[in-house]
Amino acid sequence: MPHPYVLLSAAVSLDGRLDDTGPERLLLSGPADFDRVDEVRASADAILVGAGTIRADNPRLLVNSADRRAARVAAGRPAYPLKVTVSGSGELDPAARFWHTGGEKVLYTTDRGAERAQALGLAADVVPLGPALDWRRLLEHLHDERGVARLMVEGGGLVHTQLLQQGLADELQLVLAPLLVGDPDAPRLFGPGAYQRGRLRLVETRRIEDVVLLRYEPTAPGTGAVPSAADRHWLALACELAERCPPSRTAFSVGAVVVAADGTELARGYSREGGDPVVHAEEAALAKADPADPRLVTATVYSSLEPCARRASRPAPCARLILDAGVRRVVTAWREPDTFVPGADGSGVLAAAGAEVLVLAEYEERAKAPNRHLLS
């Protein structure tokens, strides 16, 4: 199911706190960074905060720059992003600024919370998600029902922690402020719990006055049938690699990446790589991995096209090579059409051997792009 791109944004002290415990909101960054945040908001279709942040900070969550709002309108978008909040209890102040400034508002809540929110008369579209709040359903709903492609999440800690732990964050934008809070009861950016394994990818550092912006991307594949945001990044890379294949009239252009469970890239490849006229992407990638690497058994293979089930050019098709390498998780964008091998069912071969195969159809068009000439 497609989700919006999820960007977690926060300012944090050197001791990892989002705020102190005083009545006023602790200012962690300065005007230049507030302006940067304004720009990020202007790029988003929706901004989400937890009910705790509404209660603690009473934020407006606006795009403050008139120029940025005008640019949004000129591009056919609403002047302000949709404002989204989550609450289990529905216990929110109907007079909070959140409801009375900016564009449209939506509250995601539980069935019980929805009753309370209706009774309070909150000025928002109230969406109950069942007895408990399910973040995947929330993201699907935002994408499918509200057309949200890019979601900026501005805290607080409980919300950030869940999205990161559930593998739903595409990007983190953290601003590190040169001060220490020290109060053990001050809210933490990320709380305890089970996070995905491995290191995040550092994609940017930027000095802004006396704070530092750190941008990270989670890299760990999802588990089993449950996709992570990083699954989409790796599959996008496989689609990019497919664009590098030497052109052919008789074979598909495919890209593949092999990634360990902690998000370490083990190998990558693409069709006809290195002057071999028949090599397939998964085959080229697996040939570069060490067959004795113990990480292969928990690795994921990303392939822009479903691994092949039969082929004339080599004794073993890619589905078999993947299984023989010990890999039991495959993420692909596109089921193999009948162009060359009618009835090919690489996914079936993999699944019959106990492998999990995920098809993220939102990447199908990208996977097909370098193969258009074969599909007419």
Least distance between ligand NAP and beta carbon 109 (Å): 7
The residues near 338 (Cβ < 8 Å, ≥ 6 apart) are 344
Residues near Zn ion (CB under 5 A) are 280, 308, 318
Contacting residues for 372 by C-beta, under 8 A, at least 6 apart:
none
Q: How far is the CB of 253 from Zn ion (least distance, A)?
A: 12
Cβ burial, residue 179 (10 Å; 0-12/13-18/19+): middle
| Site residues for ligand NAP per CB under 6 A | 10-11, 18-19, 25, 28, 49-53, 56-57, 86-89, 91, 133, 154-159, 162, 187
Q: Which does 171 bind (CB under 5 to 8 A by kind): ligand NAP, Zn ion, none?
A: none
216/230 Cα distance (integer angstroms): 12
**Quick one: what does residue 273 bind among Zn ion, ligand NAP, none, with the CB cut-off 5 to 8 Å set by partner type?**
none
Residue 269 binds which entry of ligand NAP, Zn ion, none, CB below 5-8 Å type-dependent: none
From residue 283, give the alpha-carbon distance in Å to each of 14, 334, 343.
Answer: 46, 18, 21
Cα distances (Å, whole numbers) of residue 303 to 41, 62, 215, 282, 313: 33, 40, 27, 7, 19
* Sequence-distant (≥ 6) Cβ neighbours of residue 139 within 8 angstroms: 3, 4, 6, 151, 168
Q: Choosing among ligand NAP, Zn ion, none, which partner's interface includes residue 127 (Cβ < 5 to 8 Å by kind)? A: none
Task: Spell out the residues 6+ positions from residue 47 whose beta carbon is closer than 8 angstroms to its own.
Answer: 41, 61, 81, 82, 83, 84, 151, 152, 153, 154
Specify the residue, 158 or 278, whose C-beta has the smaller distance to ligand NAP: 158
The DSSP result for 109-127, as a single string, is: E-HHHHHHHHHHT-SSEEE
Nearer CB in complex with Zn ion: 241/318: 318
Residue 53 tokens, joined: 């942040």
CB of 349 to Zn ion, least distance (A): 11
Instruction: Please identify, using beta-carbon distances, which residue of 196 and 300 lies nearer to ligand NAP.
Output: 196
Among ligand NAP, Zn ion, none, partner that 280 touches (CB below 5 to 8 angstroms by kind): Zn ion
- By beta-carbon proximity to ligand NAP, the closer residue of 44 and 349 is 44
Neighbours of 371 (CB within 10 A): 22
Residue 18 vs 285, nearer CB to ligand NAP: 18
**Which residue number, 113 or 346, has a Cβ lying nearer to ligand NAP?**
113
Shortest reach from residue 55's CB to ligand NAP, in Å? 8
Q: Answer positive or negative: Cα dihedral of 12, 15, 17, 22.
A: negative
The partner in contact with residue 25, picked from Zn ion, ligand NAP, none with C-beta cut-offs of 5 to 8 angstroms by kind, is: ligand NAP
Per DSSP (E only), the strands in 70-122 are 82-87, 105-109
Given Zn ion, ligand NAP, none, residue 318, with its beta carbon under 5 to 8 Å by kind, binds Zn ion
Closest distance of CB 214 from ligand NAP, Å: 13
Question: CA triplet 75, 76, 82: central angle to 5 degrees?
Answer: 105
Q: Which is nearer to ligand NAP, 174 or 261 (CB)?
A: 174
Beta carbon of residue 321, minimum distance to Zn ion (angstroms, whole number)? 8
Shortest CB 148 distance to ligand NAP, Å: 18
